[in-house]
Structure 1
Amino acid sequence: MKKVIVWFRKDLRLHDNPALWEAAQQGAIIPLFIWSEQEELDYATSETARWWLHHSLMGLERELESHGLNLIVRMGSNLEQLMLICEQTKADAVYFNERHEPSIISRDRIIAGKLLSCVSEVQSFSSNLLFTPEKMLNQKNEPYKVFTSFWKKSMRESVNYPLPIPPSIIPYNEALPSLQVEELGLLPNIPWYDKFHTYWEPGEKGAISRWQQFADEGLVHYAKESDIPSADAVSSLSAHLVWGDISVRSIWHAAKRLRDGKSDEYRQSSIDAFLRQLVWREFAYHQLIHFPTILNEPLREKFKEFPWLNHEEELEKWQKGLTGYPLVDAGMRELWETGVIHNRVRMVVASFLVKHLLVTWLEGSKWFQQTLVDFDPANNAIGWQWVAGTGIDASPYFRVFNPTLQSQKFDSDGLYIRRWIPELAELPVPYIHEPWKAPEHILTEAKIVLGETYPLPIVEHSIARKRALEAYGEIKNS
């Protein structure tokens, strides 16, 4: 009987796990996870991502134990630990699911080649994406640079059906040295993240429960309500997808089944809007694969010369939700409290940073990396480059979100603002969207002293917009 090491990475689940499925057909399974800060620089510097990983690993450990398997946890060089466990177990094969970060792709090639000196078989499988990158090319055999074209192509492509949990799993029964998950040191020294338990249940069990709830209650209203930050109309699955608590293929096919089973055009369009978000995630990864510099360089060359101001004091006020613009501040406070920020508001706060304050998108990207539980290199980079106008398929730079109009349109009753900015809770509409216009008696009744209990705007919108367009004009005409 073969002994197969299943190397878990960003696939911390039992369902639709091709490496686990194939290993279960071959023989005894040795489940392994390795943490290396030196090789996981994107995630090692993200305390929120590490918090999620810690708890997702705990969940994986429990799920494996329910099938009689013990997760072997190691720390250090991936190659060294893999070679060591191969020697300790006399394993025949190593199976793992592919990752798509540029540095990881090149590292995995080296590891796979080295492993063949101690095992007879090394196999990798696709599980993190819907479509094979090599197949998603345009008629010129080039990567898509426009999302709409990529979306249309995706609607013509088939997605592999998800695999079930293997019905029979044979464990490797000999004892092996293993760390406890706690010994990886994933959790920060200061437990500021304890509040996250109020909002999240990392792991496969929590992911499946969240999907079922969304499919039953929120999916059919997604198109109409997903832009309303006070509505519970989004899936909240993004963090689960980062670490593979749930399979994107399983979500895709479950949503498609719901779509095809509904004759109601409203419900079909709503599910299509959700599928479009899954394809946006896909597009982000395909962009990262084909244009790896997207993580830290503008893809539009002219933006390398953009005259950013980068005032540290204004950056800090943006980070703390003290800009004086209620929707922006509510979003940034939601981020600090929960580890996520509503997608519509995410665009508004990002636009405010790069266009109102002229702070480089790289600073915003770094802050999101440190504070988002759903931080993902591809999604984070493409989102910031889209808002900043620096990417291939991006929002035009001259599109400057007016945070007040966005607030009035998408949080018309101020419910979202009241939740995250309690000092404005008693301010009535329309002043909750622009407190600086409220008459003195209204402010007094609401117990607000502008500049003291809540800040005045750090920049005036029309002035900021004019300044941003002038800066854009400098590089456009250079």
Structure 2
Amino acid sequence: MNIWWIRRDLRLEDNPALSAAIRDGAGVLPVFILDERLLANPAEKRQAFLFAGLRELDADLRRLGSRLIVRSGDPVVELERLGREVPIESIFAEQDVSPYARRRDAAVARQLKLQLVAGLNIQPVSAVLRADGRPYTLFTPYSRAWKALPANDCILPAPITLPLVPDINSLDLPDWPAPDGFPAGEREARRRLAKFLDAPIYDYAVGRDRLDRNSTSALSPYLRFGMLSARQAAAAVRQAAGVAPDTASRAGCEAWLNELIWRDFFQSILYHFPNVLGNAFRTGSHSISWRDDMRDLQAWQSGLTGYPVVDAGMRQLAATGWMHNRARMICASFLVKHLLIHWQAGERWFIQNLIDGDPAANNGGWQWVAGTGTDAAPYFRIFNPVLQGRKFDPDGHYVRRWLPELADVPSEYIHTPWKMSNTGQQEFHVILGQDYPTPIVEHDFARQRAFQAYTGKFA
């Protein structure tokens, strides 16, 4: 019997590891190990989403005559123990790229017959390289090389049936409900993809940054845990582009495909440069004098900075475990450039709270904003949170949804409530400094301070 070792591929369709385990007809044992090292890091919402997804996968497996075997502990120990309970020929698993995953898999491979199969990305990390074999470190040439490769849109079918699993012990999964707004599982992932491709994708190029609209797919948690494969998403968007009614609609498809390529790119960066998880990619940034201000950090974490669009994003994160991508950039820029707090503090907070928290994408995004990473935003790009709010939430619908204390504030002041008179504050039921904070830092001052901190660090 073969083990299908499930890690972040919680699906039956287009699952190369599952297909490889099935191929030789030896029988398949679906196994998930509650890795004590990974679960030790606090990430309650993401772990709840994972457990809910595993329960859905178990239900799908049972409909095919199989079931999920759950164990807890060190993967090497638990897989060896399974091998003593059931004759095991090989272990098949989807290749992962994080430093911990690679160390874990190397340790398993030293003791057991482990076969790693590509499937995490659309294009494997070894497929998109320069002519001399070196990895790309800039997105544009990477994306050109990526797009020049043959499109592999051949989706592996889900099995129709699976062999009965031997009568061996399996642990109960924690009975944590999925976060509100994000039902877990493969069926939900495919439903969301179909809904997005039905129309919103065609407006994606122009609408994706609007905070007040449902213009994004919200598929990132499902891609994070492989409830939908990245290849499925890419194949679907290419099909949508083929039937797009006009040039603007095709541009929407192209813009979303580029987001999937960014995902592959950050996975490639982490694979080839694993030290980015603990260090800036650009070594010149090591000498920046970051501020260690716990009070400002906590205000940012709590959504109490006094800048409504920043606070709305942070409270959306706290409530749902997810945040609109434009809000992520605004909030990250505010922490790093306005408060001059180290990007790693923000990286840790996001990875702790995001249900789609992925080491590669999270690190890549934070280093991009901070100007410390590969192909990063220039140090002098400092988002003005007022202008960002007015541009991407012009009537304040996003702000009012997540900041109920500003519900009655008119659009004129929704992104600058501190400009209201005392009479206006009373009229619109929000007293600054009491019901909602005044800005913890003034924009022009923060901008100049960031310039001074960054200047000369990136020569």
1:461 corresponds in structure 2 to 443
Q: Following TM superposition, by how much is the alpha carbon of 1:49 offset from its aligned partner in structure 2, in angstroms?
A: 1.8
1:121-136 equivalent positions in 2, closer than 5 A: 122-136=114-128
Pick the aligned partner of 2:71 from 65, 70, 74.
74
The verdict on how the C-alpha distance between 1:151 and 1:476 changes in structure 2, with shifts beyond 3 A counting, is closer
Match of 1:18 among 12, 16, 19: 16
Match of 2:214 in 1: 232
Mapped to 1, the partners of 2:235 and 2:182 lie a distance apart of 24
2:142 aligned to which of 144, 150, 164: 150
Structure 2 Cα separation of the partners of residues 176 and 413 of structure 1: 58
Q: Which residue of 2 aligns with 1:61?
A: 58
Note the C-alpha offset of 1:398: 1.1
Aligned length, in residue pairs: 457
Counterpart for residue 33 of structure 2: 34
**Secondary structure of the structure 1 residue equivalent to 2:36:** coil
Letter paired with 2:198: D
2:327 maps to 1:345: yes
Q: Deviations over 1:298-354 (max 9, x none)?
A: 111121121011210000000111111010011111111111111111101100001
Q: Pairwise mapping of residues 393-472 of structure 1 onto structure 2 (< 5 A)?
A: 393-472=375-454
C-alpha separation between the residues in 2 aligned to 1:385 and 1:92?
Answer: 43
Other-structure match for 1:94: 91
| Counterpart for residue 252 of structure 2 | 270
Q: Say whether 1:83 aligns with 2:75.
A: no
Residue of structure 1 equivalent to 2:306: 324
Conserved? CA contact 1:24–1:170, under 8 Å:
no
Secondary structure of residue in 2 paired with 1:344: helix
Q: Bigger CA drift: 7-16 or 97-106? A: 97-106
Partner of 1:213: 195
Which deviates further from its counterpart, 410-419 or 16-25? 16-25
Residue 73 of structure 1 and its aligned partner are, at CA, apart by 0.5
Q: TM-score, normalised by structure 1?
A: 0.92
Contact 2:313 2:328 in 1 (8 A): yes
Assess if the C-alpha contact under 8 Å between 2:179 and 2:321 holds in 1. Answer: no
Conservation of the 8 A alpha-carbon contact between 2:71 and 2:171: yes
Identify which range, 161-170 or 266-275, moves more after superposition: 161-170
User: What letter corresponds to residue 16 of structure 2 in structure 1?
Assistant: P
Q: Secondary structure at the match of 1:134?
A: coil
1:129/1:282 contact within 8 Å kept:
yes
Q: List runs of 5+ in structure 2 lacking aligned partners.
A: none
Q: Does the 8 Å CA contact 1:7/1:31 hold for their aligned counterparts?
A: yes
Task: Provide the C-alpha distance between the structure 2 equivalents of 1:167 and 1:206, rounded to a whole number of angstroms.
Answer: 19
Q: What is the aligned partner in structure 2 of residue 191 from structure 1? A: none
Partner in structure 1 of residue 156 of structure 2: 163
Unaligned runs of at least 5 residues, structure 1 = 117-121, 188-193
Which segment is superposed worse, 459-468 or 26-35? 26-35
8 Å contact from structure 1 (residues 35, 74) kept in 2: yes
* Letter of the structure 1 residue corresponding to residue 357 of structure 2: F
Q: When the two structures are superposed, what TM-score results if normalisation uses the length of structure 2?
A: 0.96
Per the TM alignment, residue 476 of structure 1 is displaced from its structure 2 partner at its CA by 4.6
CA distance in 1, matches of 2:29, 2:124: 28
Corresponding residue to 2:264 among 276, 282, 299: 282
Whether the 8 Å contact between 2:201 and 2:256 is mirrored in structure 1 is: yes
CA distance in 2: counterparts of 1:450 and 1:261, whole angstroms: 52
- 1:4 maps to 2:2: yes
The 1-side partners of 2:179 and 2:326 are apart by: 24
Shift of 1:443: 2.0
| Deviation (angstroms), 1:263 | 4.4
Rounded to whole Å, the distance in 2 between the matches of 1:407 and 1:450 is 19
Q: How does 1:300-315 map to 2 (within 5 A)?
A: 300-315=282-297
Q: Name which of 321, 330, 341 aligns with 1:359.
A: 341
User: What letter matches 2:50 in structure 1?
Assistant: L
Task: Letter of the 2:17 partner, please give it.
Answer: A
SS of equivalent residue, structure 2 residue 455 = helix
Q: What SS does the aligned partner of 1:73 have? A: strand
Q: Aligned equivalents of 1:205 and 1:397: distance in 2? A: 42
2:227 aligned with 1:245, yes or no? yes
The aligned amino acid for 1:102 is P
- Alpha-carbon distance, 1:242 to partner: 1.0
Alignment root-mean-square deviation, CA: 1.6
Range moving further from structure 2, 260-269 or 375-384: 260-269
**Which residue number corresponds to residue 190 of structure 1?**
none
1:110 corresponds to which residue? Answer: 107
CA distance in 1, matches of 2:23, 2:283: 50
Shift of the alpha carbon at 1:108? 1.0
Deviation at 1:262, TM superposition (A): 2.3
Q: Which moved more, 1:271-280 or 1:290-299?
A: 290-299
For residues 397-416 of structure 1, the C-alpha deviation after alignment (integer angstroms, 9 at most, x for no partner) is 11110000101111111111
**Secondary structure class of the residue paired with 1:398:** coil
Change (3 A) 1:139 1:19: closer
1:335–1:293 Cα change, 3 Å? same
Distance in 1, Cα, partners of 2:89 & 2:454: 58
Distance 1:87 1:422, change over 3 A: same
1:50 shift after superposition: 1.1
Distance 1:476 1:23 in 2: 49
AA partner of residue 90 (structure 1):
P
